Amino acid sequence: MGMFDGKKGLITGVFNKQSIAWAIADRIMQEGGECGFSHMPDKPDDTRKKNLRRLEKLTDGNPKVKFVQPMDVTNDEHLTALMDRCKSELGQVDFLLHSIAFALPSDLKDDTIATSRDGFKLAMEISAYSLIALANAAQDVLSDNASVLTLTYFGGEKTVPGYNVMGVCKAALDSIVKYLAHDLGPRGIRVNALSAGPMQTISGRGAGVEEMLGLYEGMAPLGRNITHEEAGNSGAFLLSEMSSGITGEIMHLDGGYNSMGAPGRLIDRFKEAQAAC
C-alpha cells in the first residue's frame, strides 16, 4: 500500500525532468497518488507548443496523470478554469504543489539595487503573490486536512549574491507561507515550504548553480549536495499525512548548509590550496 493511495492533487510548475516539482510528483505517483498538472501556456505563435510537449514527455501513458492544462497564474480566469478542471477530474484534492517563479533575466543579472520597477512588480506577482492567488482559488477544491507546499530557497533568508531580486521574492514567499498556514489552519489545511539546496534545474542554472554546488559540498555538514530523489522524498513527505502536525514551516533540504555559521571543512580545502601554491 502506497503513502498516497486514494489521494488526489494538483501539481504546478513542472518544466522538465530536472524540475524539483517533477521529482515530487513522480514520487507521489509511485506511492499511488493521482495528479493533475498545470503548465505555463505556450505563446499563441508557438505551433510546436514546447511547454506542453515538455510536460507530455513526462506524463503521457501514466495512468496516475488525470489531466494536463495550461495556466497563467497572473490570469484569474485561468485559475478559475484550472479549479473547474480539478473539480471535474479529481473532485476534492488532498495536496497542492506550488512551483512557480519568474523574474526578467535583466533584473536577475543586475544588482538588486538596479531592479526595474516593472520587473519587481512582475517578479513579486509571479513568484510570491501567485501562492496567495492559487491557494485562494483552490479553497473550494481543497479537502479538509489537505496539504499545500511551495518551493523556496535560502536566498530569501540570507543574502546570496547573484540571486538578487529573486531572493526578495522568496523572502515574501516564506512570509506568505506562514500567514496562509494561519488562515487555512481552522480547516486542518497545512501550508509549508521546501527550501532545497542548489540543484541542476532550469532555475538553478539561471542563478549560477555551478559555483554554489562546490560551496555547499565544502561547507555542508554532510559534505555533499542533495539529489533529486531526496527532493522528491522530502516534498512528498510534506504533502502527505505523514507530516500532519507540521505547518507554517520552512524545511531545509541542503545537507545542513543553512546551519553553518563559518566555512567549516571548506577552510581545510583553502589551506591545502594555499600550501600547494
Check residue 201 and give its pLDDT.
66
Model pLDDT, residue 269: 76
Burial of 67 (0-12, 13-18, 19+ CB in 10 A): middle
**What is the predicted pLDDT for the residue at 111?**
96
How is the chain split into domains, by residue range? 8-276
pLDDT given at position 9: 98
Residue 216: active-site member: no
- Low-confidence stretches of the chain (pLDDT beneath 50): none
pLDDT digits (tens, 9 = 90+) for 191-209: 999 999 998 766 655 556 7
Q: What are the angstrom distances between the C-alpha of 232 and each of 20, 165, 202, 207, 235?
A: 7, 27, 17, 21, 5
Query: Can you give the pLDDT at residue 1?
Result: 82
Q: Cell triple for residue 120?
A: 519587481
What's the pLDDT tens digit per position in 130-154? Answer: 999 999 999 999 999 999 999 999 9
Active site residue: 129, 153, 216, 257, which one?
153
E strand or H helix at 214, and its extent? helix 209-219
Cβ neighbours of residue 73 under 8 Å, at least 6 residues apart?
12, 79, 100, 126, 130, 133, 134
* Cell, residue 197: 539546496
Q: CA-to-CA distance for 12 and 18, rounded, in angstroms?
A: 14
Stated pTM of the model: 0.94
Q: Which long-range contacts link 139-144 to residues 24+ away (Cβ below 8 Å)?
A: 139/184, 140/83, 140/87, 141/83, 141/86, 141/87, 141/90, 141/91, 141/92, 141/93, 142/92, 142/93, 142/96, 142/184, 142/187, 142/189, 143/92, 143/93, 143/94, 144/187, 144/188, 144/189
Q: Looking at domain 8-276, what is its CATH homologous superfamily?
A: NAD(P)-binding Rossmann-like Domain (3.40.50.720)
Instruction: Please identify which of the residues 129, 163, 179, 257 carries the catalytic annotation.
Output: 163
Is residue 179 part of the annotated active site? The answer reads no
pLDDT computed for residue 210 by the predictor: 76
- Residue 266 has a pLDDT of 86
